[in-house]
Amino acid sequence: MKGSKIRTAFILGAGLGKRLRPLTLDCPKPLLPVGGRPLITFAMDHCLTAGVERFIMNTHHCAEAYDSGFPERSWRGWPILFRHEPVLLDTAGALKNIEDLLADDERLLVCNGDILSDLPLQRLLAAHETGGREVTLVLRSDGPLRNVCLDAKGEICDFRDILGNPGVRRCLFTGIYAVEKRFLRRLTPGKVESVVPVFAEMIREAPGSVASVVIDEGQWLDIGDPEAYARIRAAGPALRYEDGCAAPEESAFIRGTLGLSVDEKIALIPVGKGGSDRDFFRVAAAAGRPPVILMRYGRMYEENDGYAAVASFLRGIGVTVPEICSHDPERRLILMEDLGDTDLYALRGAPWEVRCDLYEKTLALAAKLHAFSPDRLPTGLRLMPGFDANLYRWERDYFREHCVRNVCRIDLAGGDDEALEAELSALAGRLLSTPPALVHRDLQSQNVMIRGGAPVLIDFQGMRPGSPFYDLGSLLCDPYITFREEERLFLLRHYHEISGSHYDGEAFRELFLLASAQRLMQALGAYGFLGLRRGKPHFLAHIHPALENLVSVTAEVGRLPRLYALACRCRTALGT
């Protein structure tokens, strides 16, 4: 079956929709209206991005409603086959019930008809093709019901705790999977049965036999109750299906901004600066046109709404950031200049003379930002709330939960935790005593692009009032970059001179070390959260250098003995 295309999607539409009653008393849940069309059509559009050419749907409750919903038995020109179930067969029974509709070697895409999702299905197809298993499931790191267990190799080892094997990580099963027809031989005709115990039995017989791919990109929404349905129906779905080309509304936005004709094809090439509910694409259009980047952003993080406005403000005060070509706040699209692919991180192996010049220029931009008083902000420019005691507390709690407890497996005793909290609260108080300035908040090497030998700041939407020493800690104690101590000290002194700070050298160094400890706690919490909860294990590799930096700065400052001891304990627990 290598290279075989998936031509058929089986969409489950026979459920009773009990959680949405009374809305589903006289209507199948997949046919409830969303955005002026049946809910199930969004799942069908999603499947079309995988290249399917026909749909099979099972029916049971109010089956006649499907006849009126799809009188031509097609969607967007592709045929729909309905298979009625007089007795509701559940997921495995439903699959067995359509076996006769499939070719002998057919491969099938299966999904639920009552889910809104735009996760990239090409990731599933690639994983299934290379894995060679009978079935490959799409999982997500987070969700309302994480009952799929993965072992240390990332393979499924249990479902719903049927096998008593908790593994090392739990994920949500999206209900989306690719399956070979030979899997259906395991099923019994007419048997009311879920696929879950079948999958569990496969694993019992042959560990690793049920493949999976964790896809956290895109959206996955379970319309589980009338309130959730009302919210989605009022707001409308904000799905963006990935097929390598611009969606119609994106195409119109790009063409209008760049003055492209309708005959010029637009393709979107993903670039690797996504995150925080944002996706970035290089726009491939006609040859000879200057490159641009399309940013899509969602509703998960409020700060994304201010990206364009903050960029305009920063350019106005002389801080170099990407030029915004156009912004459509309703569709949540931004078109901006393309800065290329080189950042400070990419140049980490360059000679010190080259890196030193770039860091000096970056510190000059930071000093310009820090010199602008928050009291002088333009009317109407909305920033995120400034650093205060609550935000500093959130960062240290983030560190203790996702790094200390979840990664290092260290549970602090009550007295130790209270003493540590008192020490860290005093740390926050010291930072809050510094005059507030505008800070980038994530000024690290991957957020400083290099264009024409000069730095350009990105990922600035989280800018807010705070201590400028937090930015210095982000840049000069960056876990992604290794500095020699004399290099770090040289750059710190350089900033001290150009910023005109009123602190003497010793007080300035101490505040830098304290802020670095605070920032490193936040970074370590993020690495643990992203690595374990978001299914991005590459972030876990940064915990070792971040812990080394935390041990170093807490040892040097001498005022954080409990944090120093904890950092050393974490380092020992991880064998680093």
Chain-centroid distance of CA 553 in Å reads 30
Residues 91 and 168: their CA atoms lie apart, in Å, by 27
Sign of CA dihedral 219, 224, 225, 226: positive
Percent of the chain with pLDDT over 90: 47
Residues 499 and 437: their CA atoms lie apart, in Å, by 12
Q: What is the CA radius of gyration of the chain?
A: 27
Does the structure show a pLDDT above 50 at 243? no
pTM: 0.61
Cβ atoms of residues 522 and 395 within 8 Å: yes
C-beta pairs of 548-556 under 8 Å, 24+ apart in sequence: 548/576, 549/477, 549/479, 549/516, 549/520, 550/517, 550/520, 550/521, 550/524, 553/477, 553/513, 553/516, 553/517, 553/520, 554/513, 554/517, 556/513
CB neighbours (10 Å) of residue 240? Answer: 18
Region 385-400: mean pLDDT is 95
Give the pLDDT confidence of 306-360 residue by residue, as tens digits: 899 999 999 999 999 999 999 998 888 999 999 987 899 889 989 999 999 999 9
Mean per-residue pLDDT of the chain = 87
Does the structure show a pLDDT above 80 at 555? yes
Assigned token pair, 559: 């005022």
What does the DSSP assignment read for 215-259? --SS-EEE--SHHHHHHHHHH-------SSB--HHHHHHHHHHHT
Question: In this predicted structure, what is the pLDDT of residue 405?
Answer: 94
Find the helix packing angle between 505-528 and 543-557, rounded to 10°: 150
Residues 547 and 563: their CA atoms lie apart, in Å, by 11
Question: In this predicted structure, what is the pLDDT of residue 3?
Answer: 47
Residue 506, SS3?
Answer: helix
Give the pLDDT confidence of 115-136 residue by residue, as tens digits: 888 888 888 988 898 888 999 9
Residues 389 and 421: their CA atoms lie apart, in Å, by 12
Q: Is 58 left (phi over 0), alpha (psi -120 to 50) or beta?
A: beta
From residue 49, alpha-carbon distances to 240, 244, 296 in Å are 11, 9, 18
Assigned token pair, 167: 């593994």
Give the pLDDT confidence of 431-440 residue by residue, as tens digits: 999 999 999 9
Residues 320 and 305: their CA atoms lie apart, in Å, by 20
Indicate the DSSP class of residue 533.
I
What does the DSSP assignment read for 421-480? HHHHHHHHHHHHTSPPEEE-S--SGGGEEEETTEEEE---TT-EEE-HHHHHHHHHT-TT
267-282 burial, b for 16+ CB within 10 Å, e for fewer? ebeeeebeeeebbbbb
Assigned token pair, 404: 């200390």
Give the pLDDT band of residue 91 (cuts 50, 70, 90): confident
From residue 176, alpha-carbon distances to 33, 120, 150, 338 in Å are 22, 11, 17, 35
Give the pLDDT band of residue 31 (cuts 50, 70, 90): confident
Question: In this predicted structure, what is the pLDDT of residue 300?
Answer: 66
Question: How wide is the angle at C-alpha 424 spanned by C-alphas 418 and 430, nearest 5°?
Answer: 140
Question: In this predicted structure, what is the pLDDT of residue 60?
Answer: 84
Cβ atoms of residues 133 and 142 within 8 Å: no
Bridge partner residues of 156 (DSSP): 150
Does the structure show a pLDDT above 50 at 201? yes
Does the structure show a pLDDT above 60 at 419? yes
Residue 141, SS3?
Answer: coil
Dihedrals phi, psi of 460, to nearest 5 degrees:
-100, 5
Least-confidence region, from 60-69, 181-190, 337-346 = 60-69
Find the helix packing angle between 90-97 and 195-205, rounded to 10°: 90
Region 217-230: mean pLDDT is 77
Cβ atoms of residues 353 and 466 within 8 Å: no
Question: In this predicted structure, what is the pLDDT of residue 494?
Answer: 97
Helix, strand, coil shares, percent, the chain, to 5: 45, 20, 40
C-beta pairs of 569-576 under 8 Å, 24+ apart in sequence: 569/408, 569/410, 570/403, 570/404, 570/407, 570/408, 570/410, 571/544, 571/547, 573/408, 573/409, 573/410, 574/407, 574/408, 574/543, 574/544, 574/547, 576/544, 576/547, 576/548
Bridge partner residues of 317 (DSSP): none
C-beta pairs of 300-308 under 8 Å, 24+ apart in sequence: 300/276, 301/276, 301/277, 302/384, 303/276, 303/384, 303/461, 303/462, 304/276, 304/277, 304/278, 304/332, 304/461, 305/329, 305/382, 306/381, 306/382, 306/383, 306/384, 306/461, 307/334, 307/460, 307/461, 308/334
Give the pLDDT band of residue 273 (cuts 50, 70, 90): very low
Least-confidence region, from 115-119, 193-197, 489-493 = 115-119
Question: In this predicted structure, what is the pLDDT of residue 106?
Answer: 86
Give the pLDDT band of residue 2 (cuts 50, 70, 90): very low
Cis peptide before 385 (omega within 30 of 0): no
Give the pLDDT confidence of 149-167 residue by residue, as tens digits: 988 888 899 999 899 888 8
Residues 461 and 293: their CA atoms lie apart, in Å, by 16
Residues 83 and 67: their CA atoms lie apart, in Å, by 12
Strands 169-180 and 107-112: antiparallel
Region 506-525: mean pLDDT is 96
Nearest one of 235, 187, 21, 220 to 112, comparing CA atoms: 220
Question: In this predicted structure, what is the pLDDT of residue 270?
Answer: 60
Position 39, amino acid: L
Question: In this predicted structure, what is the pLDDT of residue 105?
Answer: 80
From residue 162, alpha-carbon distances to 92, 143, 513, 537 in Å are 17, 20, 50, 26
Residues 475 and 395: their CA atoms lie apart, in Å, by 18
